[in-house]
Structure 1
Amino acid sequence: MVAHRYGNALFALAKEKNVREELLAELLEMKKALAEEPQLMVFLTSKQIEPGVRREVIEKLAASSSELAANLLRMLFDYGRIADLDVIITEYVRLNDSFENTVRATVTTAIPLAEEQKDRLTSAFAKIVGANKIILDERVDPSVIGGAILRSNDYVYDGSLKLKIARIRRMLLK
């Protein structure tokens, strides 16, 4: 609920100020930094650390941010909602993807895909889901054996050899 309200307001403001794409890039970097340094959020939300010390860190982060991102950080800190930053960023990304008709998907294969394979996969998947753009997150998992597993929010395609072998095994055991 909080993420939806703040994400919608942030997205509307970014569109109004014509900084939607720039803010998206900045928020994705922020999300990446939070994932790489989980102790930062622990620090910012800790009641054992003086609010003034935590405020100084927020101000340092804000100083290297755009006006919108800096205002978001300050507001979330002031309202005691800084712990919701990650989900608010996720909501902003979702709204932006919807606006751009972009679908984010994860592809899992036994070995890394060649660029040509990725291009064919994204092109075919874009047609299936009716998207303008597909952003692929590649994962390598040798247990897939061969083929690919493609997942997005609304779609799962499992074309792995692992699944095919499991199906054959179930048929043989009947």
Structure 2
Amino acid sequence: MVAHRYGQALFDLAEEQDLRQPLLEELTELKKVFADQPELGVFLTSKQISFAAKSKMLQFLIDKASQTVANLLRMTFDYGRLCTLDAIINEYIRLNDEFEKTVRASVITAIKLEDAQKERLASSFAGVVGAKKVYLDEKIDPDIIGGVILKSNSYIYDGSIRTKIAHIKRLLLK
């Protein structure tokens, strides 16, 4: 996969140059720019837009970027791979998380968790998955009735009341 190769090369370069953390911050910001302005990606990859206009817009991004990110933008643009930029950044983030033993997980609850509850949940989950740090993306879903559902790349824990009721229902129907 192209994104994996580019992301790995970018991560290796960042480690060699001791730029892993600053590059992570810059790539995260770049990802946010493209997410907040989806028409920017469409503009830069559209066949209806002139090469000169796209180059001018790309230069605006490059002027604000570090040398490494500027090179990444130029290379993906020149090779027609700008549409994979988001996947490349995601791969870099994944590799960095793996390096730092960080896990990103979503937590689904029926009501909003207090900060102390989120910290305890993150700490407990870190112990279960062997991570140093856990980032929780909180989602509210009243349909789960109560309890918690935790999902990461390699782990799913469903302790919701809805699932427990469904399990009891299946047992009663046997």
4+ residue runs of structure 1 moved beyond 6 angstroms? none
Q: 1:68 maps to what in 2?
A: 68
The corresponding residue for 2:56 is: 56
* CA distance in 2 between partners of 1:173 and 1:36 (Å): 49
Question: How many angstroms apart in 1 are the aligned matches of 2:157 and 2:116?
Answer: 19
CA distance in 1, matches of 2:92, 2:16: 14
Q: What runs of 5+ residues in structure 2 fail to find an aligned partner?
A: none
3-state SS of the aligned residue for 1:149? strand
Alpha-carbon distance in structure 2 between the residues aligned to 1:63 and 1:137:
32
Indicate the residue corresponding to 1:23 in structure 2: 23
Number of residue pairs the alignment of both structures matches: 174
- AA in 1 matched with 2:80: G
**Cα deviation 1:93-140 (Å, max 9, x = unaligned):** 011011111111110111111111111111111111111111111111
Q: Distance in 1 between matches of 2:67 and 2:147?
A: 46
Counterpart of 1:139 in structure 2 is 139
In structure 1, how many angstroms separate the alpha carbons of the residues matched to 2:147 and 2:26?
35
TM-score (norm 1): 0.96
Gaps of 5+ in 1: none
Deviation at 1:171, TM superposition (A): 2.2
TM-aligned CA deviation for residue 60 of structure 1: 0.5
Give the aligned partner of residue 37 of structure 1: 37
Distance in 1, matches of 2:121 and 2:58, equals: 42
Partner of 2:151: 151
Distance in 2, matches of 1:34 and 1:142, equals 31
SS in 1 for 2:146: coil
**Structure 1 residue identity aligned to 2:167:** R
Deviates most, 63-72 or 149-158:
63-72
In structure 2, C-alpha distance between the alignment counterparts of 1:113 and 1:24, rounded to whole Å: 28
3-state SS of paired residue (2:134) = strand
Cα distance, 1:18 vs structure 2: 1.2
Q: What is the match of residue 102 of structure 2?
A: 102
Q: Secondary structure at the match of 1:112?
A: coil
Kindly state the Cα deviation for residue 90 of structure 1 after the two structures are TM-superposed: 0.6
- For 1:2, the aligned partner's letter is V
Q: Cα distance, 1:2 vs. partner? A: 0.5
Q: 2:117 aligned with 1:120, yes or no?
A: no
d(CA) in 2 for partners of 1:26, 1:128: 31
- Give, as a single letter, the amino acid of the residue that structure 2 aligns with 1:38: P
1:89 aligned onto 2:115: no
In structure 2, distance between residues paired with 1:36 and 1:149: 28
Q: CA RMSD in A?
A: 1.0
Partner AA of 2:165 in structure 1: I
Shift of 1:33: 2.1
Q: How far did 1:36 drift?
A: 2.1
